[in-house]
Structure 1
């Protein structure tokens, strides 16, 4: 047996006791953070300017408010008929212990029309990458970057954004059009990469994805279930410590709201269908590199979940498109039993299950043997599959 469940059981009981002891303290900190935001609600423009001025120096992630901090907006009327495009993706990563150096990206594409003459189109597009210029990137100085791990993930994210723009452009223009994506529109994973690699992926995503959606005037957004972002909480931290005087105390003792994220702030403040105020994310990659496509967000109570909805600046600035996103995202969550129906269908088309991975691997090995190329997994990979002693 790989795990000793007797020992684990004791540790789980200890964890439960520790969590119970910390719960009351956490509730008190949540109440204090809410009070700080409420007390400064009318001064939201001042705090927007302060947050914009110090985000690059802040020890915490920050958000810049675009509306009064305590604002709550009721659910707008959803159009009886609307057209929606949704995309999701998955991948099989490059495995240096596998039979061949390659990776696969599978995109799930969904087009739905509700109301008059309803319709549904579902399909998946798998793409195998194996050419040398696909599995190895080279910058202008000849430096090489192998497409594996975070780079394959970045390529999938980029392809999802571009595919969403292409798919949404096919939507009929007779009724409102919405482009919906799962997860964040902020390419957080690119932040830690070499600047050339970051720009290689990000510029494609912005120019071929968001820019095309803006040109087509399509309401664009993404849906994050059970979000853990701490950006609004970061604004509460800035209110409590505007000069960061206490921020660098050891063991987090200078953080008045340690362990709190935005979801905890809003989860029981918003009624069913209500959204929070709108905020701009001040993550460095968003603030420094997104330009006119900077990502804003609000929190929305969809009944069974408190979710984060992200939208580009040009959608956030348009009251009609903003209300359309609010209404349609809520409608989709109701149709899907708590999660957008369109995204659930896109995921079904995109997902690569473990059985699919095994079939793909065996297909690679059989093809390599057929063309008489040296193939097969490395000894390390084989030893993991067969438990030899």
Structure 2
């Protein structure tokens, strides 16, 4: 039990710290605004410098493909359009349960506007219990809970492509209706960078194949990142604030361990900066990400991003190159996304509903293991039951 009386004495210190941080953040914002104006006047030269020295930098810098002072109003969404979305949840494995296995549940959403069509709101569960699902990840040094999350990401991408492409292609035959496929979170799977090659090959290729199916069907894909902590766009200013003639981090700053001279506005985040520059319904310049994991993506699937003031927050919007480089498709996708945010009162309604369909509650978990226990007893397995620890926890009187 949390003792609030003992906790109350720490609250004033938190308030004072947050007040000081607010003042410092305002100063960083003013400096970032000034540096952006300076970098905008020499943007072409800085991009050339970035391309020349990128392999000598120790931090990721996104390349702006539009002027740094860009702030564009997003147009209204077309009257008739469709939105597809998936999101996943899981039941983690436990040695204290009646069987050591895990479950992934993917929520599927298909919403149609201006078409007098019924929506799709359901979920598809899958149980993993085989040896290769449970024990092989340990050979790669990957915790099972982490591997389960990676497998969930694959399932979300595959089910999104399957659902959307079946609708757009015959027998559905709705190719002329604008549409958008959305996922919650980033399209840049940076976590794969630290995985063994064997593990990575089981995760990334199926995802990219699903993306390719969307591309062939001309269904634009978008990743919606709420509360982004990225600094990839602001890092472009570090080329301008670099104190050396050439931005060669390995040669110039390899002996520094604390703070680099070019970190003038750190730890200011991209979203915080653009909240100060964008009005509701506007987007920032488009950037091309340069994170190392993207070298494993096909050229048409390299990720671009921009920031959008959706009214309640600054969202980071990510798209594959084939969508971002088609200006009409890009603008239409943003308009559908913003309409989804408005319908969801601050968050895309399709993603919110996909989450609601996917979430596994405590009662669902209990019913799943009860069903599994019944099936094991029917199969003649004896001594079926939870561990003493789990039984005691469930019957606690505290």
TM-score, normalisation: structure 2: 0.88
> Aligned equivalents of 1:204 and 1:52: distance in 2?
31
- Report the equivalent of 2:149: 153
- Check the 8 A contact 1:137/1:147 in 2, yes or no: no
Q: Which residue of 1 aligns with 2:215?
A: 214
Gap regions ≥5 residues in structure 1: none
SS of the residue 1:40 aligns to:
helix
Query: What's 2:100 paired with?
Result: 101
Aligned pair 1:334/2:342, yes or no? yes
Write the distance in 2 (CA, Å) between the matches of 1:41 and 1:166. Answer: 43
**Greater CA deviation, 373-382 or 232-241?**
373-382
Partner of 2:307, secondary structure, is strand
Cα pair distance change 1:185/1:14, threshold 3 Å = same
User: Are 1:351 and 2:350 an aligned pair?
Assistant: no
User: Is 1:108–1:349's contact at 8 Å kept on the other side of the alignment?
Assistant: yes
Give, in whole Å, the separation in 1 of the partners of 2:83 and 2:157: 15
Is this contact kept in 2: 1:302–1:338, CA < 8 A?
yes
Is the 2:300–2:322 contact (alpha carbons within 8 Å) kept by the matching residues of 1? yes
Decide which of 163, 168, 183 is 1:167's aligned counterpart.
163
Equivalent position of 1:308 in the other structure: 316
Following the alignment from structure 2 to structure 1, what is the Cα–Cα distance between the partners of residues 290 and 374?
50
Match of 1:372 among 349, 359, 381: 381
Distance 1:349 1:248, change over 3 A: farther
Secondary structure of 1:303's match? coil
Alignment pair present for 1:271 and 2:267: no
| Alpha carbons of structure 1 residues 380 and 144: separation in structure 2 relative to 1, 3 Å | farther
Q: Which moved more, 1:294-303 or 1:350-359?
A: 350-359
**Which of 341-350 and 309-318 deviates more?**
341-350
Secondary structure of the 2:119 match is strand
Shift of 1:49: 4.1
Residues 1-389 of structure 1 aligned to structure 2 (within 5 Å): 1=1, 3-137=2-136, 143=139, 148-169=144-165, 170-171=167-168, 172-207=174-209, 209-241=210-242, 242-244=247-249, 245=252, 249-252=256-259, 254=261, 255-370=263-378, 371-379=380-388, 381-382=390-391, 385=394
Deviations 1:58-96 (A, max 9, x none): 333321111111211111242111122111111112224
Report Cα offsets for 1:288-339 as digits up to 9, x if no partner.
5454311111101111221111100110110011101111111111111111
Aligned residues: 384
* Between 351-360 and 250-259, the greater mean CA deviation after superposition: 250-259
| Alpha-carbon distance in 2 for matches of 1:313, 1:379 | 54
Gaps of 5+ in 2: 169-173
**Structure 1 pair 176–112 and aligned structure 2 pair: CA distance change class (3 A):** same
TM-score if structure 1 supplies the norm length? 0.90
Alpha-carbon distance, 1:135 to partner: 2.9
Aligned-partner Cα distance in 1 for 2:66–2:182 = 24
RMSD: 2.6
Task: Judge conservation of contact 1:75–1:326 (CA < 8 Å) in 2.
Answer: yes
